[in-house]
Amino acid sequence: MDRGFVVSRDLVGTATIESGRSDPNPFFQGEVEMAISASDVKELRERTGAGMMECKKALEEANGAMETAIDILRAKGAAKAAKRAGKETREGAVGSYIHMGGKIGVLVEVNCETDFVARTEGFRALVKDIAMHIAAANPLAVLPEEIPAEIVERERAVFVVQVKKEGKPEKIWDRIVDGKLKKFYQDNALVEQPYVKDPDKSVGQLVTEVSAKTGERIVVRRFTRFALGE
């Protein structure tokens, strides 16, 4: 009697093991999960900075789809960062960036929890990238609520006039104006701005990603942007 095993594959490539044994064997569950290659894990680590086991689990959860695995890790990273929201950030670094032959200069303070993280290459790179972004995008403040109230009210007044001229029904004016203000914040608050190196994510999301990699809360504290002649 043949007591070997037959391996068959269904249409989606899942390997199924059929045993010739008539007695139950706890070591065979009837289906073999998709194997995740070491090269895929390595690529995901390089692209996200997450740990090896985290990358492997994300790829398994995503059935091997690299981009889906990246989204899974980003979501988990955001959750981890949120848990550390109350942690104090007394360490960090002040970064600088000079652009256009000395015509634009930026100083930015970025804080973290420990001096150890502040000295890491990833944190230093983040500080430099944020300084470069500020030079290019010229935000008004770090957070939407830090934009001076008089500027916000002036913009709101302009939006109200625009909506009236467009002939929109009065009952939806406030909703349209609020939408325009949201776009204003996205354009002018640093953490809401699309990151210049990767417009698919905001500067805030960039900070969250690095925070997840380091395991510490990271905060952009303040910045100053200088432009020659301004």
Same domain as 194, residue 116? yes
Same domain as 164, residue 131? no
* pLDDT band (50, 70, 90) for residue 10: very low
Same domain as 104, residue 137? yes
Higher pLDDT, 72 or 111: 111
Total number of domains constituting the chain = 4
Same domain as 172, residue 96? no
Q: Which residue has the tokens 């959860």?
A: 61
* pLDDT above 60: residue 19: no
Domain that holds residue 12: 1-32
The whole-number pLDDT of residue 140 equals 97
The whole-number pLDDT of residue 9 equals 37
With both helix axes pointing from N to C terminus, report the angle between 203-214 and 66-83 in degrees, rounded to the nearest 10: 80
* pLDDT above 70: residue 102: yes
* pLDDT above 90: residue 194: yes
CB burial string 108-126: b at 16+ within 10 A, e below:
bbbbbbeeebbebeebeeb
Average per-residue pLDDT in the chain?
82
Same domain as 112, residue 195? yes
| 6: enclosing H helix or E strand | strand 5-9
* pLDDT above 50: residue 20: no
The pLDDT tens digits of the residues spanning 152-177 come to 999 999 999 999 888 888 889 999 99
Same domain as 128, residue 221? yes
Same domain as 42, residue 19? no
Angle at 75 between CA 130 and CA 133, to 5 degrees: 10
Same domain as 101, residue 128? yes
The whole-number pLDDT of residue 27 equals 36
pLDDT-wise least confident of 13-27, 59-73, 200-214: 13-27
| 15: enclosing H helix or E strand | strand 15-19
What are the beta bridge partners of residue 105?
Answer: 98, 226
CATH number of 59's domain: 1.10.8.10
CATH number of 141's domain: 3.30.479.20
Same domain as 152, residue 61? no
The whole-number pLDDT of residue 76 equals 73
Same domain as 152, residue 111? no
Same domain as 152, residue 63? no
Same domain as 79, residue 1? no
The pLDDT tens digits of the residues spanning 32-81 come to 356 788 888 888 876 766 667 878 888 999 999 988 988 887 777 655 66
